[in-house]
Amino acid sequence: MAPNSIPVTIEKSQNFSLLEVNDSDSPVFPEKQKAASTKQFTWVILLRVHRVLSCLSWLTMGFSSGLALVKKRISQSDISNEDSKYRGRLYRFIKVFLFLSIVGLAIELIAHFNKWNLHMFQPWEVEGLLHWSYMAWVSFREEYIAPIILMVSKFCVVLFLIQSLDRLVLCLGCFWIKFKKLKPTIEEDAYDIEDPSSFPMVLVQIPMCNEREVYAQSIGAACQLDWPKDRLLIQVLDDSNDAAVQLLIKDEVSSWKEKGVNIVYRHRLIRTGYKAGNLKSAMSCDYVKDYEFVAIFDADFQPNPDFLKQTIPHFKGKPDLGLVQARWAFVNKDENLLTRLQNINLCFHFEVEQQVNGHFLNFFGFNGTAGVWRIRALEDSGGWLERTTVEDMDIAVRAHLKGWKFIFLNDVKVLCELPESYEAYKKQQHRWHSGPMQLFRLCLPAIITSKISAGKKANLIFLFFLLRKLILPFYSFTLFCIILPLTMFVPEAELPLWVICYVPVTMSIFNILPAPKSIPFLVPYLLFENTMSVTKFNAMISGLFQLGSAYEWVVTKKTGRSSESDLLALAERESKSSNEEKILRRHSESGLELLGKLKEAEVPPKKKKNRIYRKELALALLLLTASARSLLSAHGVHFYYLLFQGLSFLVMGLDLIGEQVS
């Protein structure tokens, strides 16, 4: 019982009350109004000191372990391959900006401790050259720098609001589709199940390049598609330059061919045009003219057996339908924080963007895989072209200009993987954001001179390309990574609170709604998107101005996670032993020969390392410097935003998100 608690009990049970007094100074008990004992006071002080020391010890241990991790990461990371990428103008600009911000912070610290920034001084009150220089700087920034920053920030805020309005309209369209339960429909009994000849001829293409981890599961899934065997042909389009991988894929194709599957293996000696060149080469085969539709799956995609029966019937009775696109589903979305945040983005992309544009406009960007094309639509649009790194978006735009319509099936899902390492995700995003700008430069004349309606032209130019591919990365990087920290040193141009807090949080909530289980990751998602803006901005600039990095094509690294159960099986077996056992089980001379060739062609695996990314680290230091300046001005929300955004850049720069290499 507490020492100051006094219970009062009344014998009669009717209408009794219990009085508890916790204040020894209460006038109810004047005899208790005396000072606490010295011993009691000492124990209270000791308890509070113990709590403070425990907190300080916890913070010290966390800080020291963090520093040790940073030191270890820097000492073990490999930055040699990143040097050429960080010699660009953007990195030099960030370094100059960082240097100026550190100098500005030093000046503001001197002014703060000398209380120069608390009130205006008269000329005769200025003390010394340094004081005079600071007052001249304040006057200069107020008259010349602040108006420029305000003008640029207002421009970015307008773009930000336009893009937010676009997101809001898309979300309303998605809500309307859900509310009205609108779905693409198909004719009943589109094909006679008992008559295989009524099924159209379908070609399945699986382009791949050095996909050691996933080739078997993708080929196996395609070979198990439920479709008449004589009406289906599977093309395995192998661009691998690894001899061991080529042998493994050939053996896998041979094993399925022995089971009666109509499957062929194609290998190009010269890998020109990357994926577009691979698909273009496959479509040039003479037997392709016998097929009506082509389904495309990347090497890590595993369609369900009923995929073709869920997609092909939509073409029945719709001669102007060129593409049926299915949704992606991810087997490793809960693998780490990076995959969780990617899942939020892609759920919004499919659930909202693709579904709304498909329903109301009959047009969206082809996702490059998990889709079925009418071959006549591909040929009418000019076929696969090798001019950009986004051949899927290229063919979709050209087909749209020819009048072909698209359908998106949100209920048909195909399993695939998300990049688990920040390095793989960064390279993927660079390609996804530089390619559209390349394509915009090439397609703009064709869009303007095409015969489609003015509304469709406006949608393509202003919404599809400019707003969602150019403006989004531009304002995100410029407003939140450049202007916001700059305004901390030029307080006359400070951004309003609703720009950096209320509207971004609201838009993030809209983005996260298609993945409701990810709501606890709202704040990390907001910080993550702003952190990725530097990669997307750099990619957008390189694509728009045709810089060298815009033409880089790097195959996204996969791990071969085919299902949740496979995650456990993956830890129980090694790829080498599984391949040997599979070959030995065949008990054939060719299998033994293949095993010998594999051992001869075996190349020791490269040791993987986590990298450090200097652009992200420079921006982390810049934002943390700006947060320190914000602290001097007692900016509450601005300080916390800059602090946590700077820490998120630090985490990305040290490659502490995603897959960690031991």
What is the spatial distance between Cα 620 and Cα 622, in angstroms, rounded to a whole number? 5
Strand partners, 203: 233, 294
State the catalytic residue, choosing from 238, 392, 394, 655.
392
What is the spatial distance between Cα 613 and Cα 85, in angstroms, rounded to a whole number? 10
Contacts of 633 by beta carbon, 8 Å cutoff, 6+ apart: 488, 491
- Listed residue (492, 432, 497, 469) closest to 641, CA to CA: 497
User: What is the edge-to-edge ordering of all strands in the sheet holding 293-296?
Assistant: 263-267, 232-238, 202-208, 293-296, 371-374, 321-330, 405-416
Tell me 125's DSSP state.
Answer: G
Strand partners, 476: none
Token duo for residue 535: 């990669």
Cα angle value 553/554/556 (rounded, 5°): 135
State the catalytic residue, choosing from 238, 239, 251, 298.
239
What is the spatial distance between Cα 329 and Cα 418, in angstroms, rounded to a whole number? 9
Phi and psi of 313, rounded to 5°? -60, -20
Tell me 488's DSSP state.
Answer: H
Residue showing tokens 């093309």: 235
- Using CA atoms, how far residue 563 sits from 123, 226, 303, 392, in Å, is 74, 20, 12, 27
- Using CA atoms, how far residue 526 sits from 270, 423, 496, 519, 628, in Å, is 43, 20, 18, 11, 21
First-to-last alpha carbon distance for the chain, in angstroms, is: 53
What is the spatial distance between Cα 513 and Cα 520, in angstroms, rounded to a whole number? 11
Positive or negative, the Cα torsion across 110, 113, 118, 120?
negative
Work out the angle between the directed axes of helices 522-544 and 503-512 (0-180°, nearest 10).
90
What is the spatial distance between Cα 144 and Cα 207, in angstroms, rounded to a whole number? 57
- Using CA atoms, how far residue 460 sits from 60, 373, 429, 436, 448, in Å, is 54, 21, 21, 12, 10
23 given a catalytic annotation: no
Element (H, E) at 375: helix 375-380
Contact call for residues 303 and 297 (beta carbons, < 8 A): yes
411 given a catalytic annotation: no
Active site residues: 239, 392
